[in-house]
Chain A
Amino acid sequence: MTGAPPLVATRGLRKAFALRGGRWGGAGGAAQAVRGVDLDIGAAECVGLVGESGSGKSTLGRMLIRLIEPDAGSIHFDGVDLLALAPRELRRLRRQFQIVFQDPYGSLNPRMRVGSAIGEPLAIHKLVRGAAERRERVARLLEQVGLDPAAAARYPHEFSGGQRQRIGIARAIACSPRFIVADEPVSALDPPVQAQIINLLFDLKEQLALSYLFIAHDLRLVRQICDRVAVMYLGRIVEEAPAAELYREPLHPYTRALLASTPTPRPGPPTPPALAGEPASPASPPSGCAFHPRCPIAEPRCARTTPPLLAIAGRHKVACLLVGSPDSK
């Protein structure tokens, strides 16, 4: 991936959602979901995007494939400026980037047979001629995700959560995409089923040379299949590194806290909570480094200065005033 141009590249991506009163404080406010994100995803690379609820990771994922329109910034897909495309051209390009959703129950039309759900994108993009070819392609896709081709004639409610997620994956790969946003694809599943789906995504990546943005809140899962990991906090990437390096040497205090908070299946003395308090509201992100109110090592300047995401060593980037800079430690 080094040297080669990235398949997906964003610069300065921003999105705010207008709010009408309620929890996020008063009328006229806006939840600033994504507050300036630069992210590259290489060809056949799996990039993990982790963070807690409200960190903006799903919003970012959806903007990358233009399911949500950004307020500012740019997205390039294979060198093409996605935000400058005419609707027709965008539609034609869409088959190259797809999404797998979290909820295998909510993301399939309950009144549509599985075969139609998977075959629909093939028809829309005119990738098959006639019903027979379409049936044949659907059968092969079902096999590819580990389901019986006879599943095509059945309805989603006849399948378990894991099987439905396989159906969602079959639909996502139907048009031979190059890039898939997998938005918490296994969060709703039991661990043994998670393992099966993770393996399927892993195999498909190898077979089809797919690129993934793998959105998750479980760092254990991300480590399993991702080449590189980006950690988000309140709309910004705070750390980004090759997966092995991030787990070996997390630099940002938030990444460290996330890793320390993840329970491991090994008995031992319980880990004390790494962080007190809760993330601030995206409607009023704290000044400077948004993490400073919860940060165990924060200094007064952290409330004043927004730390840029800077390369520390090689491909390891971190946005913290206190790590990596010459005057730290």
Chain B
Amino acid sequence: MSRSGAGAPRGRAAALPSMPALLQIENLQVHYPGVAGPVRAVDGLSFGLERGETYALVGESGCGKSATALAILRLVEPGWIAGGRLWFEGRDLLELREREMRAIRGGRIGIVFQEPAAALNPVMRAGSQVAEALRIHKRLSRKAARAEAVRLLGVVALPDPERQARAYPHELSGGMMQRVMLAIALSCGPALLIADEPTTALDVTIQAQILALLRRLRAELQLTVLLITHDLGVVAENADRVGVMYAGRLVEEASVARLFAEPHHPYTRALLRSLPGGSGATAGRRLPTIPGSVPDPASPPPGCRFHPRCPAVFDPCARREPAEIEVEPGRRVACFLHDPRAGAAGPGTGP
């Protein structure tokens, strides 16, 4: 996917240097230590985030979507970033000193994790955790930071922020803890908010509240959001563009409307069909499934990583890695079915 370079497939961003993407990831490689050598969790990933958009990165556990989020913050230990470029506001994050990087984490880039209970300090009051970020990044006085923390807890619609600021995390519900996490992430006026499965641990009615809050904050604060999730329902209602990852690579990227209307990659198609309530589901019947299971990232199959499970597999798939093809403006697919040079049935939609 990647060797063709990151700029090329995303024509829009590359052609207009006057308005660069907020974040441009080029050929990112993230490795983790494994028993038999490094495991390539992310293997040549390129995509960009336009200012003000919500970009969803979707895929199954182990596809590398969370590793990508952590790589943007340079927090991949015990793994390491083995290659690539992470352009953010004109600078390559991988070139920065650790001290400069610390100013970016929680400063220009905020992050919200899946498990707020694990991310918050259990022995520190909610308000103090918000204030801590303000004291470090904005060098506010203790008193000013506390006042600002209460204000921010109000912004994220925590009920009775004055009182809840004094609560410890265990006294708050999951939804309230996620609001506190959001207040911390937003405290220093970030340009980019990374939301890594922000609602996966929450009940649906609370999930709907948090997603609505995210949409409101994005509009009010002109945020760019990288939304990481495995729930395509959440993607459909909340993102502008979507990148589908499989086994460490991006297999398809499109606007949300186009991806759901006409998925190109066989993996994306199978993913959408297998959802209860999705295109292939009929109540009271078996669901369409994808045979087999995701490959072990320590030893991915040769060629296209999806080929052993792909219903449309043909001769080049096992031998070569599919290049990224820009099938229409703003839309790319890494599949030989869409590669006119591969001599497949043609660049149509395949079987």
Contact = CB atoms under 8 A, between A and B. Distances in A.
A196 interface: yes
A275 B210 CA distance: 12
Interface of B: 60-61, 159, 170-171, 173-176, 203-209, 211-212, 215, 230-238, 256-257, 260-261, 270-272, 274-279, 281, 283-290, 293
Contact of A224 (B174, B261, B272, B281): B281
Interface string A225-256: 10100000000000000011001000000000
A106 interface: no
Given A190-B60, A192-B271, A192-B274, A267 B287 contact: no
A302 B272 CA distance: 42
15 contacts: A23-B170, A53-B203, A191-B232, A193-B60, A217-B204, A219-B204, A224-B285, A262-B277, A264-B277, A265-B232, A267-B237, A270-B212, A270-B215, A270-B238, A277-B159
Contacts of B175: 278
Given A221-B276, A224-B283, A265 B233 contact: yes
Given A23-B170, A217-B204, A264 B286 contact: no
Nearest to B213: A273
Nearest to A243: B283
A268 B233 contact: no
Contacts of A271: 208, 237
B209 A263 contact: no
Nearest to A199: B286
Contact of A198 (B60, B170, B277, B287): B287
B230 A220 contact: no
Interface of A: 22-23, 52-53, 160-163, 190-196, 198-199, 202-203, 217-221, 223-225, 227, 243-244, 247, 257-258, 260-278
Given A195-B290, A278-B173, 17 more contacts: A52-B206, A190-B230, A193-B60, A198-B276, A199-B289, A219-B204, A220-B233, A224-B276, A244-B283, A244-B284, A261-B204, A261-B208, A262-B277, A265-B236, A267-B236, A270-B238, A272-B212
Contact of B284 (A193, A195, A225, A273): A225
Given A224-B287, A272-B212, A258 B60 contact: no
Contact of B286 (A202, A272, A278): A202
Contacts, number: 142
A267 B277 CA distance: 13
Contacts of A23: 170-171
Nearest to B283: A223
Contacts of A267: 236-237, 256-257, 260-261
Contacts of B171: 23
A224 B270 contact: no
Contacts of B159: 277
A83 B243 CA distance: 54
A191 B32 CA distance: 25
The listed residue with most A CB atoms (<10 A of its CB), out of B171, B212, B276, is B276
A64 to B, nearest CB: 23
Contact of B236 (A22, A162, A263): A263
A203 B286 contact: yes
Nearest to A224: B276
Of the candidates A190, A258, A271, the one having the most CB atoms from chain B within 10 angstroms of its own CB is A190
B207 to A, nearest CB: 7
Contacts of A275: 205, 208-209
Contacts of B170: 22-23
A326 B293 CA distance: 54
A273 B208 contact: yes
